[in-house]
A and B are shown apart, each in its own frame.
Chain A
Amino acid sequence: MATDQATDDRFEGFSSDDKLARKRLYGKLFVGICFLATISGVVALGALIADLIIESWGWLSWNFLTYPPSPSEFHYTDGRGAGIYPALVGSIFLIALTAVFTVFLGVGAAIYLEEYAADNYATRFIEANISNLAGVPSIVYGLLGLALFVRAGGLGSVLIAGALTLTLLILPIVIVSAQEAIRAVPDSQRRAAYGVGATEWEVTRDVVLPSALPGIMTGTILALARAIGETAPLIMVGAAVSVFNPPAGLFEPFAAMPMQIFEWASQPAGEFQHIAAAGSVVLLTVMLIMNLMAILIRNKYETEL
């Protein structure tokens, strides 16, 4: 059809032919599959949240947030019944303590590997192993924490043992993401500082760290958001499920939300399923707030300067 209108043998117009049409079709199919893949994730998340909200409807109250767990499955409007308060505060303490350990160890290791370590076989060996550690299942870290901190360290099943175990779990992820943030600082910035007579320490402090900080913080917060939902290591370390107060110190027994939810979910009485769902909503909310913080920090520093 196009050739009919062509006045020249070499010029065949710009209309589509069969081959081109088929390529277009493949392209559309491909886009369709990719779109479905995207949607399935969103639908699954939506279904999960909807299910949690329906299950927990009426059970998630101020009293739930401020009362300790109770053997009674009944939901009383006067505030008696199961609450998540010790586990909520326990989880926040746990994650705050983990954050302190992780920032020191993770960022320290990343700075050393990127800025100071010689590029030799030993360094590459260490880096490869850190990447491997990121893939180790959390239950294994739980066993390690149990052996190292609870038993050998003689700490017992206390808050600091839980925090150290979670630190081990997310440390590889934090190191790798901090390394990436440090590597993204352009070398021209380092040269500029060396060029005016700065020492290695001044270059790291004044140039590398300020530039890498948003990336380091984002990676760390995302890793901590993952850690707050970890259950397996806490089972191994022995987080408590029937404490009625938040941990009073570093060496006190502690409750944590994922552990508490797991405990509620395994209760025979049906009402506990609603309580577990309410606990999950609280846990997810805390996690989403942490993710939101990470995004806000990233945006703030990306627009600044």
Chain B
Amino acid sequence: MSEQNVTQTESITQPQTTVADDATVEPMAETIIESRDLDVYYGEHQALRDISFGMPEKQVTALIGPSGCGKSTFLRSINRMNDLIDSARVEGELLLRGKNVYDEDVDPVALRRTVGMVFQEPNPFPKSIYDNVAYGLRVQDKDDNVDEKVEQSLRRAALWDEVKDQLDSSGLDLSGGQQQRLCIARAIAPDPEVILMDEPASALDPVATSQIEDLIEDLARDYTVVVVTHNMQQAARISDKTAVFLTGGELVEFDDTQKIFENPENQRVEDYITGKFG
């Protein structure tokens, strides 16, 4: 099968090398984030129940499921953005490189410097493109070589060529897709280990969406990416692992993406993926 693929796409050299990379990287991938019996409550309402699974380093893990299944809540519990919601309460453990991020001695601000985040709606600051990317560096006191890091991050986010002559103009003047790539550049500029993305392409048109998808796959070479999506085709295209959450805040199945989409263990997951509900 792979031989056929290669012959079909011979003119493009890229697939050959990525296939080789994947083959060597995948078996060695270590678990970087591990959730153990994680429960999240909003007041009396329990949004997540007993979530336990591990996400591999430098791969894309997709969280899918119907609206209200808790997938975004889970994402936000990784970098403790749920702390900003007064009524939210977390029980259980969420380990990042073996350290429970809900331990007393963990400063959520310091945690978010290791775990960057990209949101559903592109939300650049009403500042220049340059200042948007540099903001994370400034608040993290990484003040050396800012120019260089800004350029690097914009290149990494596949935006440099489009904006290199207008770094002083407002980030809000860009198109929606460009704004989202700017937000990705802002998230990677301080060089986090993990990047969380909450439906990063749901507000974008198809062309911008496919650019973001390409970017996500590319970012997984250097970063661990956890992406929430309600678009199953997108999850199938870009992720290595997929976690399926279903209504009630339960994790129903977690496995290799290919396995989930071709041969899920759980009947409800199969029903969901084939569009019988949700």
Using a CB–CB distance below 8 Å, which chain A residues touch chain B?
118-119, 186, 188-199, 202, 206-207, 210-211, 305
Contacts and interface: CB of A to CB of B under 8 A. Distances in A.
Interface in B72-93: 79, 81, 84, 86
Given A119-B86, A305-B170, A196 B125 contact: no
Contacts of A188: 119, 121, 123
B110 A191 contact: no
A195 B109 contact: no
B119 A191 contact: yes
B139 A191 contact: no
A197 B109 contact: yes
> What's the dominant secondary structure at chain B's contact region?
mixed
Q: What are the 4 A-B residue pairs with the smallest beta carbon separation, nearest first?
A: A196-B136, A197-B113, A195-B117, A188-B123
A196 B135 contact: yes
Interface string B98-127: 000000000001101100111101011111
A196 B123 contact: no
Given A188-B123, A191-B81, A196 B112 contact: yes
Given A119-B86, A192-B183, A305-B127, A197 B119 contact: no
Contact of B116 (A119, A196, A207): A196
A195 B187 contact: yes
A75 to B, nearest CB: 54
Give the interface centre of B112, B123, B124 by most chain A CB atoms within 10 Å.
Answer: B123
A195 B170 contact: no
A198 B140 CA distance: 7
24 contacts: A118-B86, A188-B123, A189-B123, A191-B81, A191-B84, A192-B125, A192-B186, A194-B81, A194-B84, A195-B81, A195-B116, A195-B117, A195-B118, A195-B119, A195-B187, A196-B117, A197-B109, A197-B112, A197-B140, A197-B190, A202-B139, A206-B135, A305-B126, A305-B170
B187 A199 contact: no
A128 B172 CA distance: 36
Contact of B109 (A186, A191, A192, A198): A198
Contacts of B84: 190-191, 194
Nearest to B196: A195
Contacts of A196: 112-113, 116-117, 135-136, 139-140, 186-187, 189-190
Given A192-B119, A196-B186, A207 B125 contact: yes
A194 B186 CA distance: 12
Nearest to B136: A196
Nearest to A203: B139
Nearest to A210: B126
A225 B134 CA distance: 40
A72 to B, nearest CB: 58
B139 A197 contact: yes
Given A195-B116, A196-B113, A196-B136, 7 more contacts: A118-B86, A192-B119, A192-B186, A193-B135, A195-B119, A196-B187, A305-B127
